[in-house]
């Protein structure tokens, strides 16, 4: 059962979230505004040795270096339903990830839907990871110690990239309440349809914006849970929120990975709801993110 204050936050989300059919630029602006107005919830930005923006493989990224030296690298993909979210909305979690994993974090700002539909975001994230595998030394990283990660829609993209790029021998995949099945709805869509930050209706709208052609949603680059072959993938840290429409598909993906021979660390984070990576002002969320970051650091050292 989530803590009472998380339920209070969920009610605020229900009151203030824009309708599902709002224009994407309006939804993006509202998310940025909400994050800017709630530093007590989002958390404080940790200092890094260096932070700068540039483009890798033609894709905008923000690079976080926690300290000097040749460090492992993680390509991190922000959430936001493939529609919202950007480098600024996920600055706080990326800083904390860099500091507690002791990795160079490359935050990827992929092309967003509905202006750029599938496979644009997948292609952008794959291009960045392949650039890092060949050129990480150019940003002070070790290409032999490369990982991917993301949350929600970003977790989906990280999972797809981990499978697409298994030839790169990635060290780890960090998947936080990921979307892994866009073709069908698990029972958690019914159980947690409303009142838990991410509603079933909003998730359906995100999927329709990202992959409007329903006939494509069974493809493994859209629904990694449905891929025939999940062998040879990097060890996975997979965290769910106990009351989240995405919970059941995340659990199913963890089991598929285990069956395929992948080492899986599963966390069902008690007291938290969908979106907790952007709620690091809450002690349970901060503790969960630090735990995930340290696991990642251990995998790539």
Total tally of structural domains belonging to the chain: 1
Whether 8 has a pLDDT exceeding 80, the answer reads: no
Whether 37 has a pLDDT exceeding 90, the answer reads: no
Whether 84 has a pLDDT exceeding 70, the answer reads: yes
The per-residue pLDDT for 72 is 98
- Would you list the DSSP string of the chain? ---HHHHHHHHHHHHHSPPTTS-HHHHHHHHHHHHHH-HHHH-PPPP-SEEEEEEETTEEEEEEE-SSS-EEEEEEE--STTTS--TTTTHHHHHHHHHHHTSEEEEE----TTTS-TTHHHHHHHHHHHHHHHHGGGGTEEEEEEEEEEETHHHHHHHHHHHHTGGG--SEEEEES----SSS--THHHHTSSSSSS-HHHHHHHHHHH---GGGTTSTTT-GGG-S--TTPPPEEEEE-SB-TTHHHHHHHHHHHHHTT--EEEEE-TT-BTTGGG-TTSHHHHHHHHHHHHHHHHHH-
pLDDT band with cut points at 50, 70 and 90 for residue 269: confident
Model pLDDT for residues 155-188, shown as the tens digit of each residue: 999 999 999 999 999 999 999 999 999 999 999 9
Model pLDDT for residues 116-153, shown as the tens digit of each residue: 999 999 999 999 999 999 999 999 999 999 999 999 99
Whether 3 has a pLDDT exceeding 90, the answer reads: no
Q: Which domain holds residue 38?
A: 4-228+235-300
Mean pLDDT of the chain: 94
Please report, for the domain that includes residue 94, its CATH number.
3.40.50.1820
Query: Could you list the active site residues?
Result: 152, 244, 274
The per-residue pLDDT for 1 is 42
Please indicate, yes or no, whether the overall pTM of this predicted structure exceeds 0.75.
yes
The per-residue pLDDT for 293 is 98
């Amino acid at each position: 059962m989530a803590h009472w204050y998380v339920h209070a936050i969920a009610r605020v989300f229900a009151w203030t979230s824009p309708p599902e059919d709002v224009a994407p630029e309006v939804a993006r602006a509202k998310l940025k505004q909400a994050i800017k107005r709630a530093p007590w919830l989002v958390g404080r930005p940790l200092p890094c040795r260096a932070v700068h923006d540039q483009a890798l493989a033609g894709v905008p990224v923000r690079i976080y270096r926690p300290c000097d030296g040749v460090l492992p690298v993680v390509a991190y993909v922000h959430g936001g339903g493939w529609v919202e979210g950007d480098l600024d909305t996920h600055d706080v979690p990326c800083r904390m990830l860099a500091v507690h994993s002791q990795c160079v974090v490359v935050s990827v700002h992929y092309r967003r839907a509905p202006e750029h539909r599938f496979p644009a975001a997948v292609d952008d994230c794959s291009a960045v990871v392949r650039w890092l595998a060949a050129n990480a030394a150019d940003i002070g990283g070790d290409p032999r110690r490369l990982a991917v990660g993301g949350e929600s829609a970003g977790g989906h993209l990280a999972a797809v990239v981990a499978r697409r790029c298994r030839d790169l021998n990635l060290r780890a995949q960090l998947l936080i309440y990921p979307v892994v099945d866009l073709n069908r709805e698990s029972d958690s869509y019914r159980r947690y349809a409303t009142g838990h930050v991410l509603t079933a209706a909003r998730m359906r709208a995100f999927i329709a914006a990202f992959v409007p052609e329903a006939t494509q949603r069974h493809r493994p680059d859209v629904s990694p849970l449905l891929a025939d072959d999940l062998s040879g993938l990097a060890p996975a840290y997979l965290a769910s929120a106990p009351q989240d429409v995405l919970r059941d598909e995340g659990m199913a993906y963890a089991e598929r990975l285990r069956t395929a021979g992948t080492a899986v660390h599963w966390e069902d984070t008690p007291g938290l709801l969908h979106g907790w990576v952007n709620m690091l002002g809450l002690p349970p969320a901060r503790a969960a993110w630090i735990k995930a970051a340290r696991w990642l650091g251990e995998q790539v050292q």
